Amino acid sequence: MKIRQNRLDRQYFEHQAEFEEKALEVLRGGMYVLGKEVSAFEREFADYLGVKNCVGVACGLDALRIAVHLLGIGEGDEVIVQGNTYIASVMGITMNGATPVFVEPNEFYSLDAERLEEKITKHTKAILVVHLFGQATNMEKILSVAGKYGLKIIEDCAQSHGSSWKGRKTGTIGDVGCFSFFPTKNLGCFGDGGAIVTDDDHLAEQIRIYRNYGSCQKYVNVMQGANSRLDEIQAALLRVKLKYLDTYNLERNRTGEKYLRGIKNPLVELPKIAPDCTSVWHQFVLRTKFRDALAAYLERQGIQTLVHYPIPPHLQEAYRYLNVPKGALPITEQLADEVLSLPMYCGMTDQEIDTIVGCVNQFSN
């Protein structure tokens, strides 16, 4: 049996007729950008999360980049972000000319709030919290530190659609929440897409203007904006998927639980969920000193795995200019060497899950 790390076809075929009908409806409707599907999706996603405003944009990176920009953060400013994240979190900061200041993660792979205060300088403007792998970050201490120093909180929710801290959905806790709808995400479209959510009506209005060339009404431009819009087909298909998001997340949760209960191998450390936090299991990420050997062993058994992520942002060529040397973030760097993501997707069969559990348990070094 061959098991891929992710496959999107299973979820597509589960609701094939609905997706195809909806796509045809948009194609035949003749309105392809900023029409009723985008407005309807924005309303429905805001209601789902429990936030006042949602503005669709072109992708998750744009959501971050635009949020940072419209919070007034740019050259000379610093934004604190965890070292172990996908590079887009960091690019959202640096594309605005601002400087990322990396903080180490805790045992939950989340930003370690205990190390937050020591990173704050007079240039710090915001904390960018990444709810990594689907698990919500415990926001208690982060909120109090942000309050104490007057910092903004930006949530990167590209991997956490529907997860929550103390019953509050990720994206609604800080000043602004940034989502990606890249196909592999928990709520994924059929191309690129993203959204920014906020309770701040003024900020939402600014984002709405910015994403459409800085235009407040046709051919009247009040700022230098961008062309960064969620298109009608993607919005329409996201409306179909949004109805099933909780069901999809429950299914991932069931798979995560099966892994947690079934995997018993002293060489492998399983992911942990923090108190008051839920995970929507965007990825199931274990760690082991024998990562490369385990990945190779599973590959030989026909099981594909991935590493999220093998090179942390501060060690990427792109960020050499930041001068954060190897060894500066030992926990982040160790994670990059030890983490391994097992297959996780909607439509996994029990047989596939059991096979994976069995193989991980058989692994020895």
Which one, 182 or 319, has the nearer CB to ligand PLP? Answer: 182
CB of 151 to ligand PLP, least distance (A): 20
Site for ligand PLP in 106-135 (CB under 6 A): 130
Give every CB contact of residue 203 below 8 A, 6+ residues apart in sequence.
53, 70, 71, 175, 176
The least distance separating ligand PLP from the CB of residue 108, rounded to whole angstroms, comes to 15
CA distance 27 to 46: 25
CB of 8 within 8 A of CB of 184? yes
- Reported as half-sphere exposure (CB side, CA atoms, 13 A), residue 198 has a value of 25
To ligand PLP, the closest distance from the beta carbon of 122 in angstroms equals 28
Contact status, residue 114 vs residue 290, Cβ threshold 8 Å: no
CA proximity to 198, closest of 68, 85, 300, 54: 54
- Binding residues among 21-80 for ligand PLP as defined by CB under 6 A: 59-61
CB of 257 to ligand PLP, least distance (A): 23
Residue 18 CB coordination number (10 Å):
14
- # binding residues, ligand PLP (CB under 6 A): 15
Q: If you write DSSP's letter for every residue of 154-167 in order, what string do you get?
A: EEE-TT-TT-EETT
8 Å CB contact between 78 and 101: yes
Which region among 24-32, 47-55, 152-160, 249-257 touches ligand PLP (by CB under 6 A)? 152-160
Nearest to 299 by CA among 364, 365, 356: 356
Name which position in 53, 85, 249, 288 contacts ligand PLP (CB under 6 A).
85
* Token pair listed for 325: 């040397």
Tokens representing residue 105 in the block = 């993660």
Structure token pair of residue 263: 């995997």
Backbone angles phi, psi at 127, to 5 degrees: -115, 125
CB nearer ligand PLP, residue 86 or residue 259: 86
Using CB under 6 A as the binding rule, the residues of this chain from 175 to 234 that contact ligand PLP are 180, 182, 192, 194
Of residues 82, 89, 288, 305, which one binds ligand PLP by CB under 6 A?
A: 89
Nearer residue to ligand PLP within complex by CB, 87 or 328: 87
**Closest to 34 in 3D by CA, of 218, 222, 242:** 218
SS3 at position 79: strand
Measured at CB, which residue is nearest to ligand PLP?
A: 60
Give me the least distance between CB of 214 and ligand PLP, in Å please. 21
For ligand PLP, the closer of residues 56 and 256 by Cβ is 56
The minimum distance between CB 7 and ligand PLP, in angstroms, equals 18
Q: Exactly one of 86, 108, 165, 345 binds ligand PLP (CB under 6 A); which one?
A: 86
- Closest distance of CB 130 from ligand PLP, Å: 5
Of 55, 68, 80, 88, which one interacts with ligand PLP (CB under 6 A)?
A: 88
> Do the beta carbons of residue 171 and residue 52 sit within 8 Å?
no
Write the single-letter amino acid at 151.
L
Which two three-digit tokens encode residue 282?
A: 């965007």
Q: Which is nearer to ligand PLP, 139 or 353 (CB)?
A: 139
The nearer residue to ligand PLP, 182 or 259, going by C-beta atoms, is 182
100 belongs to the binding site for ligand PLP (CB under 6 A): no
Residues within the interface to ligand PLP (CB under 6 A): 59-61, 85-86, 88-89, 130, 156, 158-159, 180, 182, 192, 194
